[in-house]
Structure 1
Amino acid sequence: MPIPGQEKLKILFAGGGTGGHLFSGIAVAEEIRRRMPKAEVLFVGTPFGLEKSIVPEAGFPLRFIEATPLKGSGWSARLKSLLRLPRAYGQSKKILKEFSPDVVVGIGGYASGPLTLAAHFSKIPTAIIEQNSIPGFTNRQLGRFVDKIFIAFARAAAYFNAKKTLLSGNPTRRFELPTLEKESDRCCIFILGGSQGAHTLNVAMMEALPLLKADLSRFHFIHQSGPQDFAAVEAAYQKYEAAAEVFAFSQNLSPHFARADLMVCRAGAGTITELQNLGLPAILVPYPFAADDHQLGNAEEMVEAGAAELILNKDFNGARLAERLRHYLTAPELRRQMKQAALRLAKPEAAAEVFQACLALIRKTQAQS
């Protein structure tokens, strides 16, 4: 329902780079658009990240600043990034002056830093969204300056000022699972490797198939392989005559989530949020090269709640996967308990909560001025 008296609201989302950063911001932006159709939303990122395609596809305007990463690069690249900061900060000030937002929300990624800081020093209310259990470099620095901090994992609170921090959950876009009748008594396993696939997951599944030969008639597999391994993965399922649907990538995973009895996947923030909101038990294999090993932290919080099992990337192979799939095949009660544990962690109204907190921040600032 649109909120009266807020038609002229302007909100700027700063950051991007990865889908994990962007989709949380887009979820809040869509909540704003749903409730306040006349409000203005602007995204600001860099020309190098996924925002250049994802944001326009979502129907929001996008501007760029020339920011590059300070962390995870060689010294030469870091020096170049430092030298670009004054220009990025100046570009940020120019955008703020032209757009005149009521609040700036940093969504992570290196473009978030200059713009959120520029907003802070321009006396514009600021907030950040931290999607992971271990905050990224930019958000750890911005946490000292911003007015509000939204976190998705309880353990992230240790990195921020408790008075400014709200455990909102990770904002996600609204969608409903289709109601599907279970096609058979087979246990449906959904192997989800992300938009680029996950080679380790693909190889382990191909290795597991011959080890599961005696039980394959009791499984149905759904497998997003990514383009690189697609042909090999599809051929492996065909070789062992396993019931399987293999695809390189899909924008619409809802029908697959609706049928899944168990997930095998990485532990990115977006994936974890989907598991929680949909109540999907999972075998989590954290990507070991994620910044600050944050996927391990994400997975551990799920495991502690009883919603998932964790297998380290170095320990994940066909034999281990086959053994665990057999275990879950014969443990429907355990899967039910994991489902309930995941649902207890869910915060499906995170986008609405972030939106309401931003409104409160704006009103508080206006009352003080």
Structure 2
Amino acid sequence: MATKKTYKIVLSGGGTGGHIYPAIAIANELKRRFEDAEFLFVGAKDRMEMEKIPQAGYKIEGLWISGIQRQLTMKNLMFPFKLMSSLYNARKIVKSFKPDVAIGTGGFASGPLLYMASKHGIPSLIQEQNSFPGITNKLLAKHVQKICVAYDGLERFFPADKIVKTGNPVRRSLLDINSKTEEAKKLFDLKEGKLTLLVLGGSLGARRINELIEKELDFLDTQNVQVIWQCGKLYYQQYKIYNNTLNVQVHEFLNNMDFAYAAADIVISRAGASSVSELCIVGKPVIFIPSPNVAEDHQTKNAMAIVDHNAAMIIKEDELVVDFKNKFSQLVASPQRQKELGENIKKIALVNATNDIVDEVEKLLKVKN
């Protein structure tokens, strides 16, 4: 009688929630399909994945690695040593764990891990979330077997025969938020007759968005708007003083994002790849405020890929002083425009992304075995 194969799967993605949660979504779907599979995550030491991955029920090992800073800093001088250390330890992990497949969703640690996995003949897949790839995935492209992407036109950066357009993985809990609206309003203790604005700056927070909201609290109150404000871990101590003032509630982090989205009438958000993908599925009117402090200004490119379909609004950071009040008040005053943006962004959603990515992983497992 044939023995059932128990797969070993290694995943790497971290640094921000935008890399961590897609990796968890992929792992959860693989676990659903292969109940006996063994999973190991590899992250960067002292980054948020070292906390979030165990919370999701998975083991993780950390590498001593970080990115290259734009300015000449001590961290940059340490980078060659960190890289050598990470390659050495990634090699040890691959040889010890003996994975059947390696999956990378971006972040500092995914480079050494997937490079070493591919060097040891492990079928590998990267999931590129952005419309403009980072340097790590560009370098990994020639070593991996499959590249799952969320945008068209990535043939400029990757071998066309390796690309599969799948979209970005999102949490399953977001697939049916409309059924949660009433429960969400109770959960956040929202007032009837007011529009609800959800403000998102990422898991760590966005300084410029936080400054904007603080400055415009009185204005938002005049618009009959109540605010659910995720200010982020780095800024919570500074902004928690506004909790429960002027119809504002301040959160360090929102663990129940499905209910936060369900409660919202309008969303202000950064334009990280995972956020954009989630907002497409959620189908609410969005104002993107992209971070200009990212490689190749990829958040602006992510946002414009939606704006060009008349499916969202964008205000650049250097235009907030001039444009925010005008554009926001126009959106609040036009239920028809809100409806149009919500319907159009939902048309762009790739709701089967997680399943489609795991289908590609499953193909790699079958090839190897």
State the TM-score, normalized to the length of structure 2: 0.87
1:179 is paired with a residue of what secondary structure? helix
1:203 is paired with a residue of what secondary structure? helix
Corresponding letter in the other structure for 1:253: M
Counterpart of 1:345?
348
Contact 1:208 1:321 in 2 (8 A): no
1:309 is the counterpart of 2:313? yes
1:275 is the counterpart of 2:283? no
* Residue 310 of structure 1: how far off its partner (Å): 0.9
CA distance in 2, matches of 1:288, 1:233: 27
Counterpart of 1:45?
43
| Pairing 1:108-147 to 2, within 5 Å after superposition | 108-147=106-145
Please tell me the root mean square deviation across aligned C-alpha atoms, in Å. 2.5
CA distance in 1, matches of 2:71, 2:117: 26
Contact 1:13 1:42 in 2 (8 A): yes
Contact 2:242 2:248 in 1 (8 A): no
Structure 2 unpaired stretches of 5+: 186-190
Distance 1:365 1:198, change over 3 A: same
Length, aligned pairs only? 355
Distance 1:230 1:68, change over 3 A: closer
Contact 1:10 1:41 in 2 (8 A): yes
CA distance in 1, matches of 2:82, 2:192: 58
1:107 is paired with a residue of what secondary structure? strand
1:154 is paired with a residue of what secondary structure? coil
Contact 2:16 2:203 in 1 (8 A): no
| Identical residues among aligned pairs (%) | 32
Contact 1:132 1:156 in 2 (8 A): no
| Pairing 1:78-117 to 2, within 5 Å after superposition | 78-117=76-115
Structure 1 residues 125-155: Cα deviation after superposition (integer angstroms, max 9, x where no partner): 1111112121111111101221100112224
Counterpart of 1:17?
15
CA distance in 2, matches of 1:23, 1:251: 12
Contact 2:17 2:202 in 1 (8 A): no
Distance 1:147 1:323, change over 3 A: same
Distance 1:151 1:6, change over 3 A: farther
2:164 is paired with a residue of what secondary structure? strand
Contact 2:8 2:37 in 1 (8 A): yes
* Residue 308 of structure 1: how far off its partner (Å): 0.9
1:198 is the counterpart of 2:206? yes
* Aligned counterpart for 1:299 among listed residues 296, 303, 310: 303
Distance 1:201 1:115, change over 3 A: closer
CA distance in 2, matches of 1:129, 1:220: 36
Counterpart of 2:188?
none
* Residue 209 of structure 1: how far off its partner (Å): 4.1
* Aligned counterpart for 2:268 among listed residues 242, 264, 269: 264
Corresponding letter in the other structure for 2:288: L
* Residue 333 of structure 1: how far off its partner (Å): 1.6
Contact 2:105 2:126 in 1 (8 A): yes
CA distance in 1, matches of 2:220, 2:85: 58
Counterpart of 1:180?
181
* Aligned counterpart for 1:230 among listed residues 239, 248, 272: 239
Counterpart of 1:329?
332
State the TM-score, normalized to the length of structure 1: 0.87
> Greater shift after overlay, 196-205 or 68-77?
68-77
* Residue 73 of structure 1: how far off its partner (Å): 6.0
* Residue 260 of structure 1: how far off its partner (Å): 1.3
CA distance in 1, matches of 2:157, 2:23: 21
Structure 1 residues 212-233: Cα deviation after superposition (integer angstroms, max 9, x where no partner): 66x43x3332222341442454
Distance 1:88 1:219, change over 3 A: closer
Corresponding letter in the other structure for 1:135: P
1:190 is paired with a residue of what secondary structure? strand
1:165 is the counterpart of 2:163? yes
